[in-house]
Amino acid sequence: MFKEFRNIINYRYLIYQLVLRDIKVRYKNSVLGFFWSLANPLIQVATITIVVKYIMRVDIPNYSAYLLAAFLPWQFVLNGLADSSEVLLHHRDLIKKVPFPREVLPISNVLSNLIHFLLALCILVVYLLVFWLFLHGSSLRPGFLWLPVLIILQTCLLMGIAFVICTINAFFDDTKFILNALLNIGFYLTPVMYPVELVYTKLPEAHRDWLFRLYMLSPFNTLMDAYKKLLMPPFEGSVAGNTVTSLPMDWGMFAVCAVICISVLFLGMDFFNKRKHLFAERL
Amino acid sequence: MKDAIVLSHISKRFELTGTAPTIKKLILSAGRVKRQYTEALKDINITVKNGESVSIVGTNGSGKSTLLRIICGVYKPTQGSIKTCGRLYTMLDLGSGFHPDLTGMENIYFNGAVLGLSKAEIEERLDNIVAFCGLGNYINEPVRTYSAGMLMRLGFAIATETAPDILLIDEVLAVGDAAFQEKCYARMAAIKAAGTSTIVFVTHDMHAATGFADRTVWIREGMVYMDGGSREVVNKYLQELDASPENLPEFRIRENKS
């Protein structure tokens, strides 16, 4: 695997070129294109906020900020994985006719989605600044310093999964449909729209602790929750008649999550490596 | 002299998939599916010395392109081993390694990146590439608007200016006009004289094979049928084509008898 890493580093200029091209296409070389690409998640956040707050009567103060803190990372998951199913197919000509390390393709796909995510995060930061400085008179939370760690872990996780998805899609054409279904379900299974504490209160009391740990074993759940906990202050609210209070950040589970994310990256790369020589024939 | 390319006992088998496989099919057939294979190459042994120029001839479907793809590493052989020495450049098709939406100029960077070159290494050669391909102002137009000849010019210019140790060219030079073909062969002759690159090219142009290659390999039905001096091999090859034009081998699936 060491040889593969060195090879990828030798091709860093290709990664740069591929990412640059993706970004250019996404923003259509215009400032307006950039705003359009951000408008979509913001409209969704506004819609969900209205439905949850005013129709379903969930009372969590500053709900939209909590939602945004996990929604943007979730968009990164969604776009990063959905694009990865097609990335080999898009570069079919290149794969069939030019020898180069194939890892470059899923890597640059995740990286270009990462850049998009970072740009979107700027909006979140502005949003939160307005919130805390002007409305609450407090400063940004120190949890912000953890943001790079969260982003790196999430990128590792997505890259590992992207390696697996694009490999399977090279052999089975219907992978992307199954993936899209899973991602749709995933949005409701991970604590993006709702606080993780809600899951905690709904679990049977006798087995609550270990069941909750099991739930948090999913790196998606831990990561989405960590974004909320580290960027936002603890809250107290009520959901469907239950009082819900913030649980403290579980650093033990976070460490487990970090190990999982990095392991997924290596396992995914290994899976890809063992099958990459077949891509040129199968695509 | 060191060997640039060593192919020993190379065989390549392709699985015939028919239609696109789906997960549903995999589950429904659950291992009952009968797999069909075709033998594209059988027990190929070729050694190319450093600085040598080798042409490959053979009818359509004989396995020439598969052989090039195995040498450059796009395909992995089913059996046998392959050793190559140094950096490769492959022109397997017109516009291979180009991105259609980028301009010719941007594609020089992109293609260089696909080869694993750095930005500085590409810029060093940029002027020579632009000058050699002679595309004029078209260099700033998207590559998807290019004709076959223009694609070939750009590809060949990048291929030879980046000075690879091994240059693999599939039958693409045919689309160039007479003057540019002349220029290409002159360039290849210069490379050959300098002894810096090893050249392996597939051709249907027998004058190119006899006039340029030190050696010609005739691939027939996935096997090396003849390997020797260009004139000798080409004469034999032309004799057979002339002798029985109606008996030209059809495309057929070569199944493994063993």
Considering CB atoms only, which of A11, A21, A97 is closest to B92? Answer: A97
CB A14 within 8 A of CB A104: yes
Sign of the four-CA dihedral A79, A81, A87, A89: negative
CB B13 within 8 A of CB B229: no
Name all contacts of B235-242 with Cβ < 8 Å and 24+ positions apart. Answer: B237/B57, B237/B206, B238/B206, B241/B59
Confidence (pLDDT) at B258: 44
User: C-alpha dihedral over A128, A133, A137, A143, to 10 degrees?
Assistant: 50
Confidence (pLDDT) at B18: 67
Inter-chain residue contact A97 with B109, CB threshold 8 Å: no
Domain count, chain A: 1
Helix (H, G, I), strand (E, B), or coil: what is residue A8? Answer: helix
Report the DSSP pairing between strands B215-220 and B223-229. antiparallel
Which chain B residue is nearest to residue A14, measuring alpha carbons? B113
If we measure between CA atoms, which residue out of B189, A238, A110, A210 comes closest to residue A118? A110
The residue ranges of chain B whose pLDDT is under 50 are 257-258
Domain boundaries, chain B: 1-86+165-258, 99-163
Burial of A86 (0-12, 13-18, 19+ CB in 10 A): middle
Confidence (pLDDT) at B179: 86
Which chain B residue is nearest to residue A168, measuring alpha carbons? B23
Dist CA A71 CA A79 (whole Å): 12
Inter-chain residue contact A93 with B96, CB threshold 8 Å: yes
Dist CA A87 CA A91 (whole Å): 7
Contacts of A93 in chain B (CB under 8 A): 95-96
If we measure between CA atoms, which residue out of B88, B107, B171, B109 comes closest to residue B145? B107
Inter-chain residue contact A14 with B113, CB threshold 8 Å: yes
Range of the domain at A258: 2-282
Query: Which CATH superfamily includes the segment(s) B1-86+165-258?
Result: P-loop containing nucleotide triphosphate hydrolases (3.40.50.300)
A172 in contact with B, Cβ within 8 Å: yes
Dist CA A38 CA A138 (whole Å): 27
Dist CA A104 CA A16 (whole Å): 10
CB B143 within 8 A of CB B104: yes
Inter-chain residue contact B23 with A174, CB threshold 8 Å: yes
Contacting A with CB below 8 Å, chain B residues are 14-15, 17, 20-24, 26, 69, 72-76, 88, 90, 92-93, 95-97, 99, 102, 109-110, 112-119
Interface of A with B in 57-116 (CB under 8 A): 93-100
Inter-chain residue contact A97 with B97, CB threshold 8 Å: yes
If we measure between CA atoms, which residue out of A130, A148, A132 comes closest to residue A140? A132
Inter-chain residue contact A97 with B75, CB threshold 8 Å: no
Per-residue pLDDT of chain A (283 residues; tens, 9 = 90+): 788 888 899 899 999 999 998 888 787 666 777 777 788 888 999 999 999 888 888 888 888 888 989 999 999 999 999 999 999 999 998 999 888 999 999 999 999 999 999 988 888 888 878 877 776 666 667 788 899 999 999 999 999 999 999 999 998 888 989 999 999 999 999 999 999 998 998 888 898 989 999 999 999 999 999 999 998 888 888 877 778 888 888 999 999 999 999 999 999 999 999 999 999 988 8
- The ipTM, to two decimals, is 0.83
> Residue B173's CB: how many other CB atoms inside 10 A?
21
Which chain B residue is nearest to residue A9, measuring alpha carbons? B116
A275 in contact with B, Cβ within 8 Å: no
- The model's pLDDT over B143-181, given as tens digits with 9 standing for 90+, comes to 999 998 899 999 999 988 888 899 999 888 888 888 888
Inter-chain residue contact A97 with B115, CB threshold 8 Å: no
Contacts of A16 in chain B (CB under 8 A): 113
Confidence (pLDDT) at B142: 92
Dist CA A274 CA B9 (whole Å): 23
Please count the residue pairs, one from chain A and one from chain B, whose beta carbons lie less than 8 angstroms apart.
70
Considering CB atoms only, which of A17, A93, A175 is closest to B109? Answer: A17
Name all contacts of B117-121 with Cβ < 8 Å and 24+ positions apart. Answer: B117/A13, B117/B162, B118/A13, B119/A13
Inter-chain residue contact B102 with A178, CB threshold 8 Å: no
Contacts of A19 in chain B (CB under 8 A): none
Dist CA A280 CA A88 (whole Å): 10
Helix (H), strand (E) at residue A10: helix A2-10
Confidence (pLDDT) at B31: 60
